[in-house]
């Protein structure tokens, strides 16, 4: 087994997955030299000190530091800068190894080749694998103005309330749009990260610090542009918020192009039509619904409820209030914490034992 296969199998132990595929092997060879890949095979998914990794690997600390710092700067692993030292760990494929290089694409001379390889990998292997458990890693949150103000609305249904739980905020470029060559006119710098992930990105100059007011302004801009808020699928606090378009973003394309309908959890709401109020303007269907759940009829619309992800973008532009959001009869369960989310997915994918074994090394 060569070093790249060993690294692939190690990365595949994460809940996000990293199935074997020729395209992914080529990605790894671009992102890691053989010596770097060997060092990465001693990393776990939890941060460890340089001295501990050196003892495990037998690589001298000075050389190991050079290797791991180069990888962290390249966006291939995580290097978390603490007060007195830096700790290192593996990045999952998503969010991580896929996104980080595209956040600062100008620094990577291989970005075009990486774009082509990731596109092939998403289409032929990764998206189906990522969506291969009943509990998705990410979920949709409806745009704020579309949610009815009733006692049924809980904090993890509201993007503003989720943001209020965060202490630190950063914004960076949408890796999906950069990966697709900026094929649409949607804004690029709209991916929000919070707290620890924000620090990791800012420390490596892959994002910039912002305050809460600017984070809320980003969300307002994204809602106006018809972008879907996608957030980590846990109810405790946000780690990141992607603002997704249907033409570039891998989560939505997983539904519409890659036959991976379980790649993202729907929101707790679903669109509802009062046909008597509909004037057939079709504003809601024209480049607004990201999953083609709205079909135009002769003088009205029809909502494919089996497709609706509950983003609320159609409701926010309806001029007659014919469209509204109602709570689903069966609301997708939201794991209470990020740890519970990861544990649940690992159990569902049969990876918990392997993941735990790696992290205990």
pLDDT at residue number 163: 87
| Nearest alpha-carbon partner for 239 in 247, 230, 227, 248 | 230
Q: How confident is the model at residue 281 (pLDDT cuts 50, 70, 90)?
A: very high
pLDDT tens column, 212-271 = 999 999 998 998 898 999 999 998 888 999 999 999 999 999 999 988 888 999 998 999
- Cis peptide leading into 95, omega within 30 of 0? yes
Q: What end-to-end distance do the CA atoms of the chain give, in Å?
A: 20
The 10s digit of each residue's pLDDT in 303-319 is 999 999 999 999 988 99
State the DSSP code for 317: G
Nearest C-alpha neighbor of 127 from the set 282, 43, 250: 250
Which helix (DSSP H) or strand (DSSP E) does residue 89 occupy? strand 86-90
The 10s digit of each residue's pLDDT in 13-30 is 999 999 999 999 999 999
The 10s digit of each residue's pLDDT in 119-163 is: 999 999 999 999 999 999 999 988 876 666 544 444 445 778 888
CB of 288 within 8 A of CB of 315?
A: no
């Amino acid at each position: 087994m060569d070093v790249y296969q060993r690294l692939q199998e190690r990365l595949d132990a994460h809940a996000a997955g990293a199935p074997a595929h020729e395209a992914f092997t080529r990605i790894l060879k671009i992102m890691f030299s053989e010596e770097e890949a060997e060092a990465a095979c001693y990393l776990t998914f939890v941060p460890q000190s340089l001295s501990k990794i050196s003892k495990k690997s037998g690589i001298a600390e000075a050389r190991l530091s050079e290797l791991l710092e180069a990888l962290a700067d390249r966006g291939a692993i995580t290097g978390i800068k603490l007060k007195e030292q830096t700790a290192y760990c593996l990045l999952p494929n998503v969010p991580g190894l896929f996104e980080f290089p595209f956040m600062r694409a100008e620094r990577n001379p291989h970005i075009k080749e990486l774009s082509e390889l990731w596109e092939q990998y998403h289409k032929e292997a990764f998206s189906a694998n990522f969506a291969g458990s009943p509990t998705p890693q990410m979920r949709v949150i409806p745009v704020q103005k579309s949610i009815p103000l009733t006692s049924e609305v809980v904090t993890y249904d509201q993007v503003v309330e989720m943001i209020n739980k965060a202490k630190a905020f950063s914004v960076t470029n949408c890796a999906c749009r950069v990966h697709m060559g900026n094929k649409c006119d949607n804004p690029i710098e709209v991916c929000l990260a919070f707290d620890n992930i924000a620090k990791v990105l800012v420390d490596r100059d892959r994002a910039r610090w912002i305050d809460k007011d600017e984070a809320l302004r980003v969300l307002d801009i994204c809602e106006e542009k018809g972008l879907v808020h996608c957030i980590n699928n846990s109810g405790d606090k946000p780690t990141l918020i992607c603002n997704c378009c249907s033409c570039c973003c891998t989560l939505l394309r997983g539904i519409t192009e890659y036959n991976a309908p379980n790649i993202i959890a729907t929101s707790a709401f679903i669109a509802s039509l009062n046909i008597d109020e509909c004037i057939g303007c079709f504003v809601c269907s024209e480049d607004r619904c990201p999953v083609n759940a709205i079909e135009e009829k002769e003088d009205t619309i029809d909502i494919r409820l089996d497709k609706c992800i509950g983003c609320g973008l159609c409701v926010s532009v309806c001029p007659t209030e014919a469209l509204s959001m109602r709570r689903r009869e069966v609301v997708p369960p939201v794991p209470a914490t990020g740890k519970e989310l990861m544990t649940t997915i690992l159990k569902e994918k049969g990876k918990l034992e392997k993941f735990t074994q790696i992290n205990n090394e």
